[in-house]
Amino acid sequence: MFNRRLAASLAGLSLLAATGCGGGPEEIQHPGPVGQGLTWEEFRARVYQDPEGVFVFDGDVAIHDENTLREFFDRRLKNGQLIVGTSGGVDVKWDDTQKLNLTYCVSSTSFTSAQYSATVQAMADATAAWEAVANVNFIHKSDQDANCTATNLNVLFDVRPLSGSYWLRAFGPATPRDSRNILVNPVTFTSSPYPVVGLFRHELGHVLGFEHEHILLGTNAPEGCSENFTYRSLTSYDSDSVMHYPECNGTAGLSLNLSLLDAQGAASLYGTPGTPPPPPPPPPPPPPTDATSGTLSAGQSAYHGAYEVVAGTYFNVEMSGTGNADLYVHFGTYPTATQYTCRPALSGSSEVCSVLVPAGQTRAYIMVTAVTSASYTLALMYTKPTTTGTITETASGSLSSGQYDYHGAYEVVAGTYFKVVMTGSGNPDLYVGFGAYPTLTSYYCRPALSGAVETCDVLVPAGQTKAYIMVKGSSSVATLLGGDTYSLEISYTKPMPSGPASGTASGTLSQGQNAYHGAYDVAPGTYFKVVMTGTGNPNLYVSFGAYPTTTSYYCRPALSGASETCNVLVPPGAPNKAYIMVRGVSTSSTYNLNITYVRP
């Protein structure tokens, strides 16, 4: 968006691999806007291909191979319009670290001596123009100029000559390294109506993630100027923008200087020059993995599980190691040498079982048997059953102006609400994001109210499983008084394991003493079973919805001694929580509980 228009990332396909700009050569060789109502063959015939094999169309969009071009056509054009998706609605720009280290080289071997000198000076002047209005830093690594190619990984991008249908062609922040180039048509130095430094100012706008200003003209754009990219506006429409083609009703003339609104838009995206970046958020915890390993002598077996699984999904086990170990997988019980669901029986210890969980099965089991002395490592991938429970958590802190606190990740369920209520003193700002910690420019909810009372109550988007919170200290007055303070109340639905579950409990009781256990989340229509053993004479009580008492319970065997069992069907419509009480009857009793049940 340039000066307001952030280039879209095209859903991670990096289709905006390069951007070719300016009038001149492209107007001679390119037949005009390519878009609606074309067949693939017609579209392909109208797309210009430059000497490096890059496809360039609409004078602006470049794609680096024909398969991606066809995918772009199928997904964006053939249904009647260009539709470019952003990356989850998030601005495509350089992060707070990279924006201050935008390194480049200028080819000293491909340009003539005069062209090289002119390019180095033009880049220095053009980068200085952007650095004067935004918190970005371009660095010319002249020691890389003799090897300034698309494969040079010592720089972020390269600047070199290439004849084509453009004066200059650039790229956007989502572009892979081999396509991060500013390419200069050699005729630009002698034939362009634009000053070379102005063209570089324009192309560096694309490098920073800004698109053409005349996008806002829509259907009112002159012929050949219509573009349909998705964008987010940073300022109002500006015909004086450096990103506005003069031939598309731009009013700034041929100099291509940055306008006042260009400066404001760039600063709103990257910060004002010299602004220190916020501290990086803490890294999210590593994802859970199921892996185990062991060493076996010949004829020895090891057992792993049970693993709670979902019928109709795949249970995958990959074994690696030394020697010759055999892998066995089974459902419902541990496998044996003669009873198993999967046994590859290969030579060596590299074996894989990838099996569909049968209907009615909820647990998977693994056995590894050594044919010779062997060591093994298992990597497991499978679908665990899930259900939900609503919880509330709290957090608090104290911040000086410009300081940040991060909270999360919180495991959430798509389609439920994630609610954060903030109170406190001063003027802290609340931010909520999904999938990653929010930043000043990338967030899902930011109330931006005056004072410390703010609320985010948002629906968790489809496909999202983690929520994150950032609080920023914003009150300069509060800094003098000791900082902003905040308290968060966080309410959300948390995924929990479901299906068969078990637990244990134990204790010692004197006569007349009670012990309580629970609550246990249970599914109506399933069995809740408690087996008690021990010494003396404890009494077992079970109830649903509330803790049992001596007069209110669902099950009470009332037997002599410590061996009692309650195996009861959770009534349909009953509260989905079970509770246990154990009461000491004799002078002294001990008890052990073995509890099995099904979570909803």
pLDDT score of 231: 52
Contacts of 42 (CB under 8 A, 6+ apart): none
Would you state the pLDDT for residue 144?
Answer: 96
Residue 10 has pLDDT above 70, yes or no: no
pLDDT at 218: 56
More confident residue, 569 or 423: 423
Q: Classify 160 as helix, strand or coil.
A: strand
pLDDT in the model for residue 220: 67
Distance CA 329, CA 309 (A): 13
Average the pLDDT over each of 42-46, 373-377, 444-448 and give the range with the smallest value: 42-46
Q: What is the pLDDT of residue 215?
A: 59
Sheet containing 417-425: order of strands: 386-399, 484-497, 417-425, 454-459
Residue 156: pLDDT band by 50, 70, 90 thresholds?
very high
Cis before residue 8, ω within 30 degrees of 0?
A: no
Give the pLDDT of residue 519.
73
What is the pLDDT averaged over residues 248-276? 84
pLDDT above 50 for 478:
no
Is residue 593 predicted with pLDDT exceeding 60? Answer: yes
Q: Using the predicted structure, report yes or no on whether residue 11 has a pLDDT greater than 80.
A: no
Peptide bond preceding 359 in cis form (omega within 30 of 0): no
Stated length of the chain: 600
Confidence class of residue 556 from pLDDT cuts 50, 70 and 90?
Answer: very high
3-state DSSP helix/strand/coil % of the chain, to nearest 5: 15, 35, 45
454-459/588-599 β-pairing: unpaired
Distance linking the first and last C-alpha atoms of the chain: 48
Residue 88 has pLDDT above 60, yes or no: no
Which range of 66-75, 182-191, 304-313 scores highest in mean pLDDT? It is 182-191
Q: For the beta carbon of residue 598, count every other beta carbon within 10 angstroms.
A: 18
Instruction: Please give, one letter per residue, the 3-state secondary structure of 134-153.
Output: CCCCEEECHHHHHHCCCCCC
The residue with greater pLDDT, 450 or 17, is 450
Tokens 């001679």 belong to residue: 28
Contacts with 118 (C-beta within 8 Å, 6 or more apart), sequence order: 189, 196
DSSP SS3 for 129: helix
Predicted pLDDT at 386 = 53
Residue 392's pLDDT band (cuts 50, 70, 90): confident
Task: Give how far the C-alpha of residue 188 lies from the chain's centroid of Cα atoms, to the nearest Å.
Answer: 42
- pLDDT for position 285: 39
Beta carbons of 526 and 599 less than 8 angstroms apart: no
* Separation between Cα atoms, residue 99 and residue 436, nearest integer Å: 19
Question: Is residue 136 a contact partner of residue 99, using CB atoms and an 8 Å limit?
Answer: yes
Query: pLDDT tens for residues 410-441?
Result: 888 777 789 999 999 888 999 999 988 888 88
Long-range contacts of 109-116, Cβ-Cβ distance < 8 Å, separation of 24 or more: 109/145, 109/146, 109/148, 110/148, 110/160, 110/161, 111/160, 111/161, 111/184, 114/189, 115/161, 115/184, 115/186, 115/189, 116/145
- Omega before 306 within 30 of 0, i.e. cis: yes
- The confidence score (pLDDT) of residue 492 equals 85
Instruction: Give the DSSP H/E element, type plus range, for residue 500.
Output: strand 499-510
DSSP-assigned beta bridge partners for residue 398: 485
Neighbours of 445 (CB within 10 A): 19
Q: How confident is the model at residue 389 (pLDDT cuts 50, 70, 90)?
A: low
Look at residue 303 in the predicted model and tell me its pLDDT.
79
Residues 541 and 580 sit within 8 Å (Cβ to Cβ) = yes
Dihedral of CA 202/207/208/211: which sign?
A: positive
HEC-encoded secondary structure of 70-121: HHHHHHHHCCCCCCCCCECCECCCCCCCHHHCEEEEECCCCCCHHHHHHHHH
Are 175 and 189 in contact, with CB atoms under 8 Å apart? no
% pLDDT > 90, the chain? 25
d(CA 426, CA 485): 7
**Segment 329-371, tens digit of pLDDT:** 999 888 888 889 999 989 898 999 988 888 778 778 888 899 9
* CA triple 380-384-387, angle to 5 deg: 165
Q: How confident is the model at residue 68 (pLDDT cuts 50, 70, 90)?
A: low
pLDDT at residue 81 in the model: 32
Please report which confidence band the pLDDT of residue 566 belongs to, taking 50, 70 and 90 as the band edges. Answer: very high
- pLDDT tens profile 107-137: 999 999 999 999 999 999 999 999 999 999 9
Model pLDDT, residue 427: 87
Neighbours of 549 (CB within 10 A): 12
Q: What is the pLDDT of residues 481-502, one digit of tens each?
A: 456 889 999 988 777 656 677 7
- pLDDT > 80? residue 534: yes
Give the pLDDT score at 475. 56
Q: How far apart are CA 434 and CA 444, in angstroms?
A: 7
Q: Quote the pLDDT of residue 529.
A: 92
Query: Cα(84)–Cα(572) distance, rounded to whole angstroms?
Result: 50
Query: The whole model's pTM is what?
Result: 0.44
Region 292-296: what's the mean pLDDT?
77
User: Which residues, 6+ apart, have CB-to-CB distance to 413 below 8 Å?
Assistant: 386, 388, 460, 465, 493, 494, 495
Q: Across the strands, what pairs with 517?
A: 580
Task: Give strand ranges (E) for 153-281.
Answer: 157-161, 168-170, 181-184
More confident residue, 210 or 285: 210
Cβ-Cβ contacts under 8 Å for 235 (sequence gap 6 or more): 3, 4, 261, 264, 265, 268
Place of tokens 């979902």: 310
When comparing pLDDT for 313 and 579, which is higher?
A: 579
Which position has the higher pLDDT, 532 or 5?
532
Lateral strand order in the sheet of 514-521: 514-521, 577-584, 538-544
Residue 20: predicted pLDDT:
45
